[in-house]
Chain A
Amino acid sequence: MKKIFCPLFISLFLIAGYLSAWGAGRDQVITVTTALSEAEWKVMKEDIWPMFQRRYGIKVDAYTVEAADLGKVLKGMVKAGRVEIDVFCQDNMRLAELVDLGVVEDLSRYRGQIPENVLPALVEAGVFSNKLYFMPYRPNVQIVYYNPLKFEKYKLNPPKNWDELLEVAKRFHAQEGMGRILFKASGGAPTTAQLYEWIASAGGDPFSFNDKGCVATFEFLQELWSYCHPDSKKAKWDTTNEFIAKEVAYIGQNWPFGVPIIVKDWNKKWLKTYGGWEGPEKEVHIIGGEVVGIPKGSPNKRLALKYISFLHSKEVQEILMAKLAWPSIRDDASGKVEGWLVPHFESVTEALKHGIFRKNVSYWSEFDGLLNDAFTRIVIKGEKVKPVLDEYSRKMQETIGKYKKD
């Protein structure tokens, strides 16, 4: 028995020594979660985080948590009283969920640290029942990707409104015997975002389900659907890049992160983009992107706030603009966008001019579900528009009623 004790002691001693040395000799560390594409991740890893460490001596330990998982992760951590995340970045579409779960810190007291040059509308988007829970970080908007070679081949112009879109869709279908336009119909969040945008541009309120704008949108989509590429059913933000690059589909909306992937990684230099088309009422684009927040009970709140401040700085915003063509949250940022990116950056700027925010409601996930179900039944299965929409309108009202009761 004694034989065992000696090595055991030594190894314990060594471990303890190692641990204490590890604790003392290190920079301060904050843990950040985010969901980025490979190209974006690279810029963060090579430029932004090292810069932050150099300047403030705080190391950023970052890892990926997908937007849909963040609520669950934070809920678990807060419930267990072990919050291991200091700053999270979250899709601005899934904010109400976090507020309702009660897992985010109220940042109202720190509103003053947001620079004046940050666009006020972006700050307002983080306010829920008069409390500031989230701070802006990156606005985003969908643009139209298209294949100019194919448009030239059939002497078509990129569509500027719904009528032209339908016309283009019909022409491609007639020429090639197959739909060549893409609608993100994979279901889930990507479809919801696109439907929301289309309904709004038809002057409708998506939450009503059956007002004039909703009916018009669904009727239009039902007609358009037969001229869409069948892969639309798989199209979401990641697959859309693939379908455009493979020349499976010739036109479709997507977030701008796909541009460097298609042009640089996959060598499809022909890719062109533009802001978008207008609906029957107006041109409207949903402002997406990410905001930052601090989980309730974060151990390093002070450092976390410093990091957020750093993200807001003109310098960082300009780097992100120059390297990734991210639109800035500041009105004074003027990063030098790389040459080949300029036209795409202009598309984003163009689209942002028509930007609106989605209504952030606590019944978003139910709305998401109902809207997707209605879409599947009407557009994919071809059921009659009005009766289905009336049914879902009723269901939506019931759900809202339940939330009001609490």
Chain B
Amino acid sequence: MVFKYFSILLLVFFTVLVILPVYLMVKVSLSPPEDIMVQRPGFLIRNVTFRHWKDVFKSGRLWQPLKKSIIVATTTALLALLISIPGAYVISHLSRTLRYSMILSLFFTRMFPEVGIALPIAVNFIKWGLFDTNLGLTMAHLIRVLPVTAWILIGTYRTIPSDLEDAAQVDGCGRLGVLKHVVLPLALPGISVALIFSWLMSWDEFTYALYLCLREKTMPLQVYYYISRGDWFLTASYATIITIPVIFVTYILQKYLRSGYLAGAVKG
């Protein structure tokens, strides 16, 4: 019993910690400057103003980044699946050592700081006309997203009993048929998790966008733009707006995760 109350107390404590920064952001975005621009700000919302929100909507810096972020994140997620669903399938069927080195090399690319990779990529993209385009940014985001989706999917495939595949093959299914009719339906939960993860990773991405966007910014870049101009209120309002869609996405994610679909990547 003591343990139970203790754990509930702990949970509430963590919940407060999780919500607090987000709450403060919303608070700043809704407060008049007099309440915020002081040495010792209070925690409660005293006066409410929608001025900063209106400013953001009027600034002409909202719809374009929003559109771009949504397009890029969605294309990235779909392309990541398109590439890694078949690729991960093959890797999951390789011999142990080969599989092992494949996975390591997937992650080798994630070991190099993105600031180091972004520069050569930016130069090449300019040459190919991909600079400052949605496609170019999508391709850069894939660099970041692919290893993770591939890994999640490899894990997912590994959980599917190979007997099932063998049986299907005996029944006269081609190899593609096995993938289509047996493996994919079973892997669907893992695939959706991979999809949501890659969407979130692209939505969040900052470094590549910094190097590859010029005319059209993504939402995180736009936030950084406001930060670097020292504008507290526009930053807060904008940051709140960019966080809202994400609340929905995480809500969906947690629904999907109810029965521990991620386990596919975890189990031996």
Contacts and interface: CB of A to CB of B under 8 A. Distances in A.
Interface of A: 37-38, 45, 61, 63-66, 72-73, 76-77, 79-80, 82, 84, 237-239, 241-242, 245-248, 261, 265-268
Given A38-B59, A76-B122, A238 B127 contact: no
Contacts of B119: 72
B39 A238 contact: no
A63 B214 contact: yes
B122 to A, nearest CB: 6
Contact of B129 (A82, A245, A266, A268): A82
Given A246-B37, A265-B33, A267-B34, A241 B230 contact: yes
B126 A66 contact: no
From B33, B123, B126, B225, residue with most partner A Cβ within 10 Å:
B126
Given A73-B214, A80-B126, A247 B33 contact: no
B234 A266 contact: no
Contacts of B17: none
B39 A79 contact: no
B247 interface: no
Nearest to B58: A42
Interface residues of B, number: 26
Interface string B111-139: 00000000100110011010110000000
22 contacts: A37-B229, A61-B215, A65-B214, A72-B119, A72-B122, A76-B122, A76-B123, A77-B126, A79-B127, A82-B126, A84-B214, A237-B230, A238-B228, A242-B230, A245-B37, A247-B39, A261-B230, A265-B231, A265-B233, A267-B33, A268-B33, A268-B37
Nearest to B216: A63
Nearest to A42: B59
A45 B59 CA distance: 11
From B34, B132, B214, B234, residue with most partner A Cβ within 10 Å:
B214
A238 B229 contact: yes
B215 A63 contact: yes
A286 B185 CA distance: 68
A238 B228 CA distance: 7
Contact of B230 (A239, A247, A248, A267): A239
Given A76-B126, A77-B131, 15 more contacts: A38-B59, A45-B60, A61-B215, A63-B214, A66-B228, A72-B119, A72-B122, A76-B131, A80-B126, A82-B129, A238-B229, A242-B37, A261-B230, A265-B231, A266-B33
A270 to B, nearest CB: 12
B36 to A, nearest CB: 8
Contacts of B233: 265
B235 to A, nearest CB: 11
A239 B228 CA distance: 9
B232 interface: yes
A246 B131 contact: no
B38 interface: yes
Interface in B181-233: 214-215, 225, 228-233
A64 B213 CA distance: 11
Nearest to A63: B215
Nearest to A66: B228
Contact of A246 (B32, B39, B215, B225): B39
Contacts of B234: 38
B205 to A, nearest CB: 18
B122 A238 contact: no
Which 10 residue pairs are nearest across A and B when measured between Cβ atoms? A238-B230, A80-B126, A266-B33, A76-B126, A80-B127, A245-B37, A63-B215, A246-B37, A266-B37, A267-B33
Contacts of A247: 38-39
A246 B230 CA distance: 13
